Chains A and B, each alone.
Chain A
Amino acid sequence: MHRSRRRGSSVEFADHRAYVPGDDLRRIDWNAYARLEELVLRLHVAEDELRLYVLIDASASMAFGDPTKLELAQRLAAGLSYVALHGGDRVAVHVLGVEGSERARGRQGVPRVLRAIERMTAGGPTALMESVERFLRQKARPGLVVLLSDWMDFQGQGEYASGDARAVAPGLQAVDRLLGARFEVATFHLLARSELEPDLEGTQRVVDVESGEAVDVHVDDALLREYDTRLRAFLGAAESHCARRGVSYVRLASDAPVERALIAFLRGESTRALSP
């Protein structure tokens, strides 16, 4: 039995987090509300078996980067699964958008899980919210969900422009939905180097690999500056949203060292240093 990182319902206080719709009203800290006028939940250290759910985004956009974002996600998933399984915990690896999961418990499940991770290929569109709903329909018991995605799902795009933390975007909705389903959530935001620092110039036709949509742009310094501003706003909005929800948020470039990110994550260290 392990001391879980998951906040549970034991008597040992662990932390507060903001209330989200769907939370157990009995766990609201009314004393804190009296002081802060904000609804927060008291979190306690759970003394039970850890259930680790690794949700991997394998959409076409994950095929970018060198190595690709999907390869990075696979390595992260493998590392996390290995550690959890060696600790005797339960692990379920779930590809977003695909029915079913690869489930295992204990060390004997390591090979099967790793093979499942290795078989993943990138393709298809990103639909984070829909994929999370599909995951929740499997009625998994609450546990720690690690979301590995590039968050390149811009169905609610406009609000990112201003960096508004209240922006409603599929990635953030998915996080909220998981929290509402009483899961503890951690997310790795994966990005390709070419997305962080585009190496383009002149007139280009930019094609969305998932939707096939195209836009003609004239890439110059002004456009690259504006792109960088937009990207930073998008990343900042995601990070601040997760911070407010008490969600671990790690941003990684696909060419970043995986081991360092894993160790920092497992130790609960600040993830800011890892951010590209």
Chain B
Amino acid sequence: MSAWTFGAPWQLLWLGLALPIVLLHLFRRPRGTVEVSSIWLWQASKRKLNESHAIQRLRPYLALILQLLALLLAALFLAEPRLGGRGEGRLILIVDTSTSMLARDGNGVTALDAARLRALELAQAFDGHVGVVEAGAGARVLAPPGTGTARRALRNLRPSGNGADAHRAFQLAAERTESGDRIVFLSDRALRPATYAGAAELRVEDVSRGESNAAIVAASLVGEGSERRAVGRVWGDAARVHGQVGERTLGDAEVSEGRFVLPVDEAFGVLELRLEGDDALPLDDVAWLALGEGRGVHARVVGDVGRNVRRALRVLGVSTGGEAPPDLEIVRCRDAAGAELSMRAEALVLMAAGEDCFGVHAESENAWTRITRWERNDERMRFVSLDGVPLGTSAALAGEEPLIIAEHGPVAVSRRSAAARTTWTSLWPDGAWGRDPSFVMVVQNLVASARRRRRAGGFPAGPPGRPLAVADGVDVRAPSGAAVESPAIRVPFEVGVFRVEPGERFALRHVLSEEESDLRPRFEVLRGGAQGENEREDDVQAPSQAAPWFAAFFLLTVAADALWAGRKRA
């Protein structure tokens, strides 16, 4: 026979609220006191009524009963009851999603991919309820056990930033398990020790390949003028640091005891530092230093940017009018081909597409991003013509009307006629502006501006981020073929236009922290210790995490009820 079990049995402690609720009711009753000649008639009537109608006895306690019932239901809801769980047991898979899990083995497989595969294997083999907890920059429940969402959660795992909060992940897992259940922690073990105090069996599986890693963990500029140098520190077994300024390659710096010194060229805006050679985690092999003053790269964001796009912008140094994007860790800004965008671009268009972004390099006018697919009859497409803007070629697909499709959907179409006339079509599935003609003007002006700067030998003077002028000779056509006068088209410059500003003189954009770059397995489990420090709130994924809201709501209800009763009595 199946038995009821609870995913979060401690939530049943809410039932303790029953006592104050009952006390409140006792204190608040009766609502009035009345003197009578004799209570016998009332006593006899009450007794008789109670004998004949049991429900009448409950009448004065109706509010109390309803409140207790609500409390019981809420506590049960928060405790995540399920049938049959005890007999089959539960398996909680904790997956380390820190950025170091992107380290690749010799075959190019990341530790995160390995963890995902292993987790899917375990979930497949396990006969009971499977849950998934993410141990990333913040721990959270991705799939509560018994909900059947574990496999989907595993497939959607993404790296979540620097560090893994294993301690909190253990807590979340322990709250959903009991003696006889199992917890498996899949990690590269490049973490600090964490404490586990649950009753379920905990096993740690190392999914790393033990590959070595090197990282630039610090860099800055020292000196002035011709004496200016880039200095830094390298973690791991790196023999050389490669420096690039613009298109030029500076001399390699020898790494001595983890430190290096490189010359700089003030003629360029950004110095890119890169470790030589391949290792397990290339994300931390690169860093950038801003060289010039008052120079920057213009970037324009089309559409509503997603989380990863904001991360990319942050790493690229994009400021957003004082509203800095939070918790940005990963440098992942790719074009449609998956290649990372280069900081060497003079201008950049980022077109958000879900959690990814699509980039256009204005620097390479004849090297347009690769087209992956073309949907000829998509009704959502809107064709707009631009004169005199040879934006590039459609390398991947032959034909006159290629549609550019990013990872999460169609983005844009370019069409180039024999008369060097290019037609752009933007198609942004989740927003209107991508289909607006003004989008096209942004691209056109961007390209024109970049070309002017290139011809001038660099960035023009003046503050970056100034409004773009609508270029002459723009021919905009509606889907019906009707022409649209270009001056009437508003370019929403203020919104969605960002400024890439690597202007902080000694800025270093680290990809990863030193701790994340250290791939040596050092994680260990401490049993039954004290609470860890710096615990953070997690995303609300399971019912039990709604407990504080429930408590506040319930107490408010009870207080309102008591106040109401008091008012009546008054």
- Using a CB–CB cutoff of 8 Å, the interface residues on chain A facing chain B are 61, 64, 150, 152, 154, 157, 160-161, 192, 194-195, 200, 202-211, 213-218, 220, 222-223, 226-227, 229-231, 234
Q: Is the CB of A217 within 8 A of B46?
A: yes
CB atoms of A203 and B37 under 8 A apart: no
Instruction: Scan residues 1-57 of chain B and give those whose CB is less than 8 A from a CB of chain A.
Output: 29-46, 48-49, 53, 56
| Complex partner residue of B42 from A161, A217, A220, CB under 8 angstroms | A217
16 contacts between A and B (CB under 8 A): A150-B37, A157-B40, A157-B44, A160-B44, A192-B37, A194-B36, A203-B29, A203-B32, A203-B60, A208-B39, A209-B37, A210-B37, A214-B33, A217-B42, A218-B56, A227-B45
Quote the shortest CB–CB distance from B35 to chain A (angstroms).
5
Contact B40 A209 (CB under 8 A): no
Partner of B38, one of A210, A214, A218, A226: A210
* Given known contacts A217-B42, A217-B46, A223-B49, A152 and B33 CB-to-CB distance under 8 angstroms: no
Which chain B residue has the least Cβ–Cβ distance from A218? B60
> Which of A192, A213, A218, A234 is close to B39, meaning CB atoms less than 8 Å apart?
A213
A59 to B39, CA, bound (A): 15
B354 CB to closest chain A CB (Å) equals: 59
Q: Is B376 an interface residue (CB 8 A)?
A: no
Among candidates B36, B39, B48, B59, residue contacting A220 with C-beta atoms closer than 8 Å: B59
Residues in A whose Cβ lies below 8 Å from that of B53: 222
- In chain B, positions 196-247 with a C-beta closer than 8 Å to chain A are none
Pair A206/B40 contact, Cβ less than 8 Å: no
Interface residues of B in 45-75 (CB under 8 A from A): 45-46, 48-49, 53, 56, 59-60
Q: How far is the CA of A227 from the CA of B31 in the complex (A)?
A: 20
Q: Which residues of B contact A160 (CB under 8 A)?
A: 44
Q: A226-B45, A231-B41 are in contact. Are A207 and B31 (CB under 8 A)?
A: no
Q: Which residue of B lies closest to A208 (CB)?
A: B39
A64 to B34, CA, bound (A): 12
A23 to chain B, nearest CB (A): 32
- Identity of the chain B residue whose Cβ is nearest the Cβ of A213 in the assembled complex: B39
Q: Which of A195, A213, A215 has the most CB of B within 10 A?
A: A215
Q: Which residues of the other chain, A, contact B43 by a CB distance below 8 angstroms?
A: 215
Tell me whether B33 and A205 are in contact (CB under 8 A): yes
- Note all chain A residues with C-beta closer than 8 A to B49: 222-223, 226
Q: How far is the CA of A152 from the CA of B41 in the complex (A)?
A: 10
The one of B31, B36, B37, B44 in contact with A230, judged by C-beta atoms closer than 8 angstroms, is B44
Question: Chain B, interface size: which category?
Answer: 20 to 34
Q: Which residue of B lies closest to A200 (CB)?
A: B34
Q: Give chain B interface residues in 93-127, CB to chain A under 8 Å.
A: none
A61-B37, A154-B40, A209-B36 given as contacts; is B46 within 8 A of A204 (CB)?
Answer: no
Q: Given the known A-B contacts A222-B53, A222-B56, are A215 and B37 also in contact in the complex, defined by CB atoms under 8 Å?
A: no
A195 near B37: Cβ-Cβ < 8 Å: yes
| Chain B residues, Cβ within 8 Å of A222 | 49, 53, 56
Q: Report the minimal beta-carbon distance from B4 to chain A, rounded to whole angstroms.
A: 36
Choice from A154, A157, A161, A195 contacting B36 with Cβ under 8 Å? A195
In the assembled complex, the CB of A31 is this many whole angstroms from the nearest CB of chain B, namely: 43
Q: Do A218 and B45 touch across chains, with their CB atoms under 8 A apart?
A: no
The interface residues of chain B lying within 8 Å CB-to-CB of A209 are 35-37
Which 4 residue pairs of A and B lie closest in terms of their CB atoms, listed nearest first? A61-B37, A218-B60, A154-B40, A205-B30
CB pair B39–A216 under 8 Å, yes or no, is: no
Closest to A60 in B: B37
Q: Given A202-B32, A220-B59: A215 and B44 within 8 A (CB)?
A: no
A227: chain B residues within 8 A (beta carbon): 41-42, 45
Contacts of B30 in A (CB 8 A): 203-205, 216
State A175–B29 Cα separation when bound (angstroms).
41
Q: A161-B48, A227-B45, A234-B41 are in contact. Are A203 and B36 (CB under 8 A)?
A: no
Min C-beta distance of A108 to chain B, whole Å: 37
Q: Which residue of A has the minimal Cβ distance to B61?
A: A218
Flag if A206 contacts B34 (CB, 8 Å): yes
Q: How distant is A232 from chain B, measured CB to nearest CB, in Å?
A: 11
Bound-complex Cα distance A188 to B234 (A): 112
Instruction: Type the 1/0 row for B452-463, where 1 means its CB is closer than 8 Å to any CB of A.
Output: 000000000000
Interface centre among B30, B38, B49 (most CB of A within 10 A): B38
- Do the beta carbons of B34 and A230 come within 8 Å of each other? no
Nearest-CB residue, chain A, relative to B52: A226
**Contact between chains at B32 and A223 (CB < 8 Å):** no
Residues of A contacting B29 in the complex (Cβ-Cβ under 8 angstroms): 203, 205, 216
Asked if residues B37 and A206 are in contact (CB atoms below 8 Å), the reply is no
In the complex, residue of chain A having the shortest beta-carbon distance to the beta carbon of B565: A203
A207 touches B44 (CB 8 A): no
CA distance A210 to B31 in the complex (A): 22
Please measure, in the bound complex, the distance between the C-alpha atom of A168 and the C-alpha atom of B328, giving whole angstroms.
Answer: 91
Contacts of B38 in A (CB 8 A): 61, 152, 154, 208, 210
Interface centre among B37, B42, B60 (most CB of A within 10 A): B37
Distance of A161 Cα from B60 Cα, bound (Å): 24
B contact residues around A217 at 8 Å (CB): 42, 45-46
- Of the listed residues A157, A160, A205, A207, the one surrounded by the most CB atoms of chain B closer than 10 A to its CB is A205
Contact between chains at A207 and B34 (CB < 8 Å)? yes
Residue in A closest to B44 when the chains form the complex, CB atoms: A230
CB of A207 within 8 A of CB of B35, answer yes
Verify A64–B39 contact, CB threshold 8 A: no
With contacts A223-B45, A223-B46 taken as known, whether A215 is within 8 angstroms of B60 at the C-beta atoms is no
Residues of chain B contacted by A206 (CB below 8 angstroms)? 33-36, 39, 42
From A152, A192, A204, A230, give the contact of B45 (CB < 8 A).
A230
Contact A204 B32 (CB under 8 A): yes
In Å, the complex CA distance between A248 and B411 comes to 105
Closest to B568 in A: A202
A156 to chain B, nearest CB (A): 11
List, in ascending order, chain B residues with CB within 8 A of A195's CB. 36-37
Chain B 488-531 near chain A by CB (<8 Å), digits 1 or 0: 00000000000000000000000000000000000000000000
CA distance A258 to B263 in the complex (A): 121
A residues near B32, Cβ cutoff 8 Å? 200, 202-205
Q: Is the CB of A207 within 8 A of B33?
A: yes
Docked-complex contact B31 and A204, CB < 8 angstroms: yes
* B42 and A203 contacting across the interface, CB-CB below 8 Å: no
Q: Which residue of A lies closest to B36 (CB)?
A: A206
State the Cβ distance, B29 to closest chain A Cβ, in Å.
6
Smallest Cβ-Cβ distance to A153: which chain B residue: B38
A192 to B37, CA, bound (A): 9
| Contact in complex: B39, A203 (CB < 8 Å) | no
Residues of A within 8 A of B31 (CB): 202-204
Q: How far is the CB of B298 from chain A (nearest CB, A)?
A: 73
Q: Which residues in B have their C-beta under 8 angstroms from that of A234?
A: 41
